[in-house]
Amino acid sequence: MKKILLVDDEPNILILMEQTLEDLEDKGVLILTASDGEKALETIKQEKPDLVFLDVMMPYISGIDVCQTVKQDAHLSHIYIILLTARGQSFDEENGMKAGADLYMTKPFRPREVFLKSQEILGIHQV
């Protein structure tokens, strides 16, 4: 079963992301959520999701640190991480990519773009 982990400390963003990706559940994709960096790392280690949408600015552990930790772990480094953040400066994007992110998307995001990118990464064809 394919898994997507959504990580954001804003409940409204998590709800929007879940709604955006809910059609993938019909294709056997499990949608998981976490509301801070600590929970994100815990969930990543336990569930080993295929794809993680990760907010950068979060309580306890930042998304950048979560990303770096995951990408430095040989058992987890294959996980596709998309940093999703309101910080759109090129400096911020460079930091995200240095931490090992596979992609950097800025908020507000386009739900359709998130959905299509998820399908592509997970190898799921038209829903």
CA neighbours closer than 13 Å in the CB half-sphere of residue 42:
9
Q: 63: Cβ–Cβ under 8 A, 6 or more apart, which residues?
A: 7, 37, 40, 54, 55, 56, 57, 83, 85
Q: Which residue has the tokens 């998820």?
A: 118
Structure tokens at 73: 């772990």
What pLDDT digit, counting tens, does each position of 1-28 carry?
999 999 999 999 999 999 999 999 999 9
> Would you say 54 and 63 are in contact if contact means Cβ atoms under 8 Å apart?
yes
Model confidence, pTM: 0.94
What pLDDT digit, counting tens, does each position of 99-116 carry?
999 999 988 889 999 999
Return the domain boundaries, the chain.
3-122
> Does domain 3-122 bear CATH number 3.40.50.2300?
yes
Distances (CA, A) of 80 to 12, 51, 100, 113: 23, 5, 10, 16
